[in-house]
Chain A
Amino acid sequence: MAHGPAKGISRWLFTTNHKDIGTMYLWFSFAMFLLGGVFALVIRAELFEPGLQIVEPAFFNQMTTMHGLVMVFGAVMPAFVGLANWLIPMMIGAPDMALPRMNNWSFWILPFAFAMLASTLLMEGGAPNFGWTFYAPLSTTYAPPSVTFFIFAVHIMGASSIMGAINIIATILNMRAPGMTLMKMPLFVWTWLITAYLLIAVMPVLAGVVTMMLMDIHFNTSFFDAAGGGDPVLFQHVFWFFGHPEVYIMILPAFGVVSQIIPTFARKPLFGYASMVYATSSIAFLSFIVWAHHMFTVGMPVAGELFFMYATMLIAVPTGVKVFNWITTMFRGSMTFETPMLFSVAFVILFTIGGFSGLMLAIAPADFQYHDTYFVVAHFHYVLVPGAIFSITAAVYYWLPKWCGNMYNETMGKTHFWMAFIGLNLTFFPMHFVGLAGMPRRIPDYALQFADFNMIASMGAFLFGAAQILFLFNVIATIRGGKKATDEVWENPEGLEWTVPSPAPYHTFSVPPEVK
């Protein structure tokens, strides 16, 4: 076993070290976050004023599509896998991931997959332009030729996710230190265990649905063609059977992150640990039986509408348990508001707003009004930006001192927080209003009465984008130097990762610790 990292580029290309691989995942994710962010800013620049001014409508469609795909598959998912790589072995007292070489393979597929996906922008006919949900027949009969590259990119990034998830499950189930029983695991580990299960269950379904598309496009099958006895709505069922668990894949690890951070800065143990575990499991189970709430207006039988409506509302129960637990953890705690805590508190508040708008959307008859409007855009950006993205940001600030041994600049961190917080609310809150008033999503132009709110949203988006540059600067500055962090970093944080030195040595827990 090598004792330290290899020199030069080969360290990164050939590594089997969970910390190296976690770092690569996180940097890759940040690069994709910036790329997807640029796409978003193109959208917001075009929507700054009514009328068409900056891009062609056809290119606008490519931007909405690529923004969604890059953010979901390139930014959020790899970021959580990166955090899992860095943290799970240290949290459970394992020397590394269970299958270290496959771990590196899971990562290195991604740059290839996204290079292929991004290259479609330069292809004849342009990049995929059918939205990140790629509904047939837009994505089959009427798709640009680049759809074939998109399909194969999805295939290999799915393979990467499945291998990553298998590795995480094997690590958690098989590599825990003696005494680390399941119900002693940190919640981040628990949420990832369940997320990994969801990934293995639904990424193959995504592979299935893009395969059906591929066959319909190139081999004249009739999956989504009514003339042959198929049905375009079948696409939506299969896609959302993947798609709904997918949104929990993007949020469950976020629940795990804030469940680690809030107790530290409230200086109280997490309230209701066991109920958190059960709530997470319930959410995972429910995620498999609610998919058609994305399709209320497609023309389902009434029995289907009712079933999916009530099943969806049920999700509010375990989610409510979680929010209650976070708030109760903070209740009468000795709270301080360092940057990770700011992001986590904002997470609890703003994610809950997204949850409430989700509850509104769950009501089938009301959804007929909201469907495909900016209200939906507001809803899922409220759960993804202050949800997934804020939790990832919080995690980076919280664990960065452990990773690189230096404290970040608190003032800069707080500035980042407030810029991001104000920016995202300016961007997404007005979308509720224009959406309720009927502004359709994915259209490059809009009626004049929406102009003011759209202008505010666009300004907020650029503010949010600028905040991320500050984040990048802060992270690089912290890696290069700064005040040395102690081993504990924070005041009495809980978890094995705080028992190792800062920065964490290249290999930790070669001999498993004893957990009491």
Chain B
Amino acid sequence: MSSEGSYYVPAQSKLPIFASLGLFLTVFGAANWLNGNDTGPTILFCGGLLFAFVLWQWFSAVITENLQGMNSDQLKRSYVWGMGWFIFSEVMFFAAFFGALFYIRNFAIPWLGGEGDKGIANEFLWQGFEATWPLMTTPDMAVNGDAAKVLGPEQSMSFGTVDSIWSWLPFWNTMVLMTSSVTVHMAHSALKNANRKGFNIWLGITVALGFIFLVLQVEEYMEAYLHMGLTLESGAYGTTFFMLTGFHGAHVTLGTFMLLVMFLRSVIKGHFKHEDCFGFEAASWYWHFVDVVWVGLFIFVYVLG
């Protein structure tokens, strides 16, 4: 709590209304596309473009205002609160999917397999289905055999034996992301010591690590789809595997992009001073957040998978 006496209330702005329009066209186009309307992709593309353009303008405006010294310490604290609570909302979004994984593994599948009072469904609907995780044989396969529509994967992504850990991709992915959390912290420390060169190098390494992680993820997905018979449609295992890792991957993509922008701002424009670097700090918090989510994924999806 504090007050500097004069708070900067920005003048009228065209940004919000166009951001709303862009966001609306994006989702409206996406919905049309999914429903098989030919105009969908065009609307989605135009909406996305408009939205991206408005966000570009918006961030530019905020950066410019800051450089012109219009942002009081109080406003900067508002930005800090804003980013913090935004990350909390993201945590809750992932919580929904982790919760779904927990429920499916610990309740739904054992019940389908005949456990407890609720296991009566096994006797009447899914006779012959046995509860396992990773779920390789779906209830549909257990009952309908070759006529089944929902097929399980041929192989899962779970942890094999201890000797094979060096050739296990998720292990390397974990190493890459954990390292990147350290390097982004090193970048922050360098900036705090007014070491521009160190900042640029450590931040550049972080962006590269983010990029490497994404390449490895693509590699893993290709392996899954091409050789392991593991797809989004492979029953509850494929569903939870791809939705959790997929949303995480999307967040890593966004985080890498944010850090890349910060890198370019520093290298090209010389932005960020040791006491004024909120844009970078926000991106780095976001980066730590996607790392923490990965640790959860690594444990619950891969190791205990």
Q: Which one of B3, B9, B12 contacts A512 once the chains associate, using CB atoms below 8 Å?
A: B3
CB-based contact A151/B31 at 8 Å:
yes
Residue of A nearest to B21 (CB): A112
Instruction: Please state if A205 and B150 are interface contacts (CB–CB under 8 Å).
Output: no
- CB-CB < 8 A to A151: which residues of B? 31
Those of A142-160 within 8 Å (CB) of chain B:
145, 148-149, 151-153, 155-156, 159
Contact B233 A2 (CB under 8 A): no
Which residue from chain A places its CB closest to the CB of B12 in the assembled complex?
Answer: A14
> B30 contacts A152, CB within 8 Å?
yes
Q: Which residue on chain B has the smallest CB distance to residue A159?
A: B23
Among A156, A177, A228, A234, point to the contact of B100 (Cβ < 8 A): A234
Residues of A within 8 A of B103 (CB): 231, 234, 237
Instruction: Categorize the interface residue count of chain B.
Output: 35 or more
Contacts A105-B16, A173-B81, A204-B93 given; indicate if A152 touches B109 (C-beta within 8 A). Answer: no
Q: Check: A207 CB closer than 8 A to any chain B CB.
A: yes
Interface-lining segment among B118-126, B183-191, B201-209, B252-260: B118-126
B282 within 8 A of A: no
Tell me the smallest distance from the CB of B20 to a CB of chain A, in Å: 4
Interface presence of A471 (CB below 8 A): no
Residues of A within 8 A of B239 (CB): 215, 221-223, 228, 230
The complex places the Cα of A200 from the Cα of B19 at a distance, in Å, of 21
- Residue contact B78 to A1, C-beta cutoff 8 Å: no
Cα–Cα distance between A14 and B21 once the two chains are bound (Å)? 13
Contact of B109 among A112, A162, A208, A229 (CB under 8 A): A229
Check B10 against A220 for contact (C-beta < 8 Å).
Answer: no
Q: Mark B247-269, 1 if CB is under 8 A from A, else 0.
A: 00000000000000000000000
Q: Which of A2, A209, A241 contacts B11 (CB 8 A)?
A: A2
Q: Which chain A residues in 117-161 approach chain B with CB under 8 Å?
A: 145, 148-149, 151-153, 155-156, 159
Bitwise interface map of A from 211 to 244 toward B, beta carbon under 8 Å scored 1, else 0: 0101100111111011111110110011001000
When chains A and B are docked, how far (Å) is the Cα of A319 from the Cα of B3? 35
Interface of B is mostly: helix
B226 within 8 Å of A (CB atoms): no
Q: Which A residues are in CB contact (< 8 Å) with B108?
A: 226, 229-231, 233-234
Interface centre among B9, B16, B232 (most CB of A within 10 A): B16
Query: In the bound complex, what is the Cα–Cα distance between A102 and B96 (angstroms)?
Result: 26
A223-B100, A227-B149 given; A218·B27 CB < 8 A: no
Counting CB contacts under 8 A, is A108 at the interface?
yes
- B227 contacts A by Cβ under 8 Å: no
Q: Is B89 an interface residue (CB 8 A)?
A: yes
Contact in complex: A169, B104 (CB < 8 Å):
no
Are the C-beta atoms of B121 and A226 separated by less than 8 Å? yes
- The residue of chain B having its C-beta at the shortest distance from the C-beta of A149 within the complex is B31
Interchain CB contact under 8 A, B118 and A221: no
Residues of A within 8 A of B139 (CB): 226-229
Q: Interface segment, A53-61, A92-100, A345-353?
A: A92-100
Say whether A148 contacts B3, CB under 8 Å: no
- For A13, give the chain B residue with the smallest CB separation: B17
Residues from chain A with a CB closer than 8 A to the CB of B12 are: 2, 6, 10-11, 14-16
Chain A residues, CB < 8 A from B17: 13-14, 104, 108
Contacts A98-B78, A204-B96, A225-B150; is A16 near B10 (CB within 8 Å)? Answer: yes
List residues of chain B with CB within 8 A of the CB of A155.
27
Could you tell me if A207 and B93 are in contact, using CB atoms closer than 8 angstroms? yes
Q: What is the predominant secondary structure among interface residues of chain A facing chain B?
A: helix
Cβ 8 A contact of B118, one of A145, A156, A301: A301
**Tally of chain A residues near chain B (CB < 8 A):** 86
The complex places the Cα of A506 from the Cα of B170 at a distance, in Å, of 57
Q: Assess A104 versus B13: contact at CB under 8 Å? Given A205-B95, A223-B239.
A: yes
- Answer whether A222 and B74 are a contact pair too, CB < 8 Å, given A16-B11, A205-B92, A238-B100: no
Task: Report yes or no: A512 in contact with B5, Cβ–Cβ below 8 A.
Answer: yes
The reply to whether B74 and A174 form a contact with Cβ atoms under 8 Å apart is yes
Residues on A with C-beta less than 8 A from B125 are 226
B207 to chain A, nearest CB (A): 27
A109-B93 in contact (CB<8A):
no
Give the CA-CA distance A230 to B20 in the complex, in Å: 35
Task: Say whether B138 contacts A204, CB under 8 Å.
Answer: no
Q: Are B27 and A156 interface neighbours, CB within 8 A? A: yes
Of B7, B13, B28, B235, chain A has the most CB atoms within 10 Å of the CB of B7
Q: What chain A residues lie within 8 Å of B152 (beta carbons)?
A: 229
- Asked whether, in the complex, the Cβ of B92 is within 8 Å of the Cβ of A200, the reply is yes
B15 CB-CB contact with A under 8 Å: yes
The reply to whether the CB of A175 lies closer than 8 angstroms to some CB of chain B is yes
* Whole-angstrom CA separation of A431 from B64 in the bound complex: 59
- Let me know if A293 is at the binding interface, CB within 8 A: no
Which residues from chain B contact A227 at a C-beta distance below 8 Å?
138-140, 148-150
Cα A176 to Cα B5 with chains together (Å): 12
Q: Is A201 an interface residue (CB 8 A)?
A: yes
Give bound CA distance, A76 to B160, whole Å.
52
Q: Across the interface, do A100 and B93 meet the contact criterion of CB distance under 8 Å?
A: no
Check if B232 sits within 8 Å of A220, measured CB to CB: yes
Query: Smallest CB–CB gap between A38 and chain B, Å?
Result: 24
Query: B85 contacts the other chain (Cβ, under 8 Å)?
Result: yes
Give min CB distance, A54 to chain B, whole Å.
Answer: 30
Let me know if B8 is at the binding interface, CB within 8 A.
yes
B1 interface neighbour in A13, A108, A176, Cβ under 8 Å:
A176
B80 → chain A closest CB, angstroms: 9
Partner of A175, one of B16, B74, B97, B235: B74
What is the 8 Å Cβ interface bit string for chain B, positions 163-196, against chain A (1 contact, 0 not)? 0000000000000000000000000000000000
Interface flag for A113 (CB, 8 Å): yes
By the criterion CB–CB under 8 Å, are A100 and B10 in contact? yes
Contact of A205 among B2, B8, B93 (CB under 8 A): B93
Asked if B90 is at the interface (CB within 8 A of a chain A CB), the reply is yes
B236 at the A interface (CB under 8 A): yes
Q: Which of A149, A207, A221, A237 has the most CB of B within 10 A?
A: A221
Query: Within the complex, what minimum Cβ distance (angstroms) separates B224 from chain A?
Result: 15
Task: Select one of B1, B13, B81, B112 contacting A169, CB under 8 A.
Answer: B81
Residue in A2, A145, A162, A205 whose CB lies within 8 Å of B96: A205
Q: How far is the CB of B147 from chain A (nearest CB, A)?
A: 12
In the complex, chain B residues whose CB is within 8 Å of the CB of A221: 232-233, 238-239, 242-243
Mask: chain B, 115-141; 1 = CB below 8 Å from A; 0 = not: 011100100011000000001001110
Instruction: Report A-chain residues with C-beta under 8 Å of the C-beta of B273.
Output: none
B145 within 8 A of A: no
Please name all residues of chain B whose beta carbon is closer than 8 Å to the beta carbon of A108 when the two chains form the complex: 16-17, 19-20
16 contacts between A and B (CB under 8 A): A14-B14, A98-B81, A149-B28, A170-B82, A207-B96, A208-B100, A220-B150, A223-B104, A227-B150, A228-B150, A229-B109, A229-B112, A229-B235, A231-B112, A238-B100, A301-B117
Known A-B contacts: A152-B27, A181-B1. Give 12 more (CB < 8 A). A14-B17, A96-B7, A101-B15, A112-B20, A113-B24, A155-B27, A208-B96, A226-B108, A226-B126, A227-B149, A229-B112, A231-B111
Chain A residues proximal to chain B, CB less than 8 Å: 1-2, 6, 10-11, 13-17, 94-96, 98-102, 104-105, 107-109, 112-113, 116, 145, 148-149, 151-153, 155-156, 159, 162, 165-167, 169-171, 173-178, 180-181, 200-205, 207-209, 212, 214-215, 218-223, 225-231, 233-234, 237-238, 241, 299, 301, 507, 510-512
